[in-house]
């Protein structure tokens, strides 16, 4: 099997809503120690993460409209503007997957574009979270097309907070639909190096995992 520097593919998620500031600091520091690609934080922790990651090999990503994705597109755009001003490098937005299930494809595209239009002005990457466990393969494929048309950088499987996380079948559906036009992030339920390796071998460009799993994945 091909060998990867797995840490450089990891978005190290520090997202549990109950975490104290000291716990958040410790979790961010763990990501910095393992030189992960980004620490993915709650919006309230962006300033802390940006300060801690300054001068390191680790960037800062944050979640938007997390974990349900049902806020108005105008609110998502406003969130993106504020988070970019605070210094994030990447944004992981939850699309309104109710729209996907309703087959309202123009609304899906517009929801994503509300964020990408803001992010592209500052060269901030946008990952679109689908919550694939709630979707059919056809819905996943069509949503991937919407994300491509809207100018997103990644499509992403899951929030990790609802339903099943990344599966081989759903990731393959995303990769097939993407066909090299958009990157794919496998996220949710990845807890060891073996699982991470499987998704990397499939061709994903990024992995999302809870912060406590990073040491085991990077062993």
CB 78 within 8 A of CB 51: no
Per DSSP, 1 falls in state -
Active-site residue (options: 92, 111, 153, 170)? 92
- In the residue annotation, 156 being an active-site residue is answered as yes
Active-site residue (options: 76, 113, 127, 156)? 156
CB 33 within 8 A of CB 61: no
Q: Got the DSSP string for 64-114?
A: ESTTT--S-HHHHHHHHHHHHHHT-SEEEEEP-HHHHHTT-HHHHHHHHHH
Q: Where are the beta strands (DSSP E) in 51-142?
A: 59-64, 90-94, 125-129
- In the residue annotation, 92 being an active-site residue is answered as yes
The residues carrying an active-site annotation are: 92, 156, 185
């Amino acid at each position: 099997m091909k060998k990867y520097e797995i840490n450089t593919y990891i978005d190290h998620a520090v997202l549990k809503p109950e975490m104290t500031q000291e716990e958040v600091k410790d979790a961010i520091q763990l990501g910095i120690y393992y030189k992960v690609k980004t620490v993915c934080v709650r919006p309230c922790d962006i300033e802390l993460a940006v300060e801690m990651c300054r001068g390191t090999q680790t960037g800062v990503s944050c979640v938007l409209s997390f974990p349900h994705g049902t806020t108005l597109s105008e609110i998502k755009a406003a969130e993106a503007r504020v988070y970019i001003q605070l210094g994030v490098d990447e944004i992981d937005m939850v699309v309104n997957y109710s729209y996907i299930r309703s087959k309202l494809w123009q609304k899906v595209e517009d929801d994503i574009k509300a964020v990408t239009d803001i992010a592209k002005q500052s060269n901030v990457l946008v990952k679109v979270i689908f919550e694939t466990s709630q979707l059919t393969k056809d819905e996943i494929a069509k949503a991937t097309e919407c994300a491509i048309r809207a100018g997103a950088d990644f499509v992403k499987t899951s929030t990790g907070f609802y339903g099943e996380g990344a599966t081989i079948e759903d990731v393959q559906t995303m990769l097939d639909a993407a066909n090299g036009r958009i990157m794919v992030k496998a996220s949710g339920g990845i807890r060891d190096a073996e699982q991470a390796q499987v998704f990397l071998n499939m061709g994903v460009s990024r992995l999302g995992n809870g912060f406590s799993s990073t040491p085991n994945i990077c062993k």
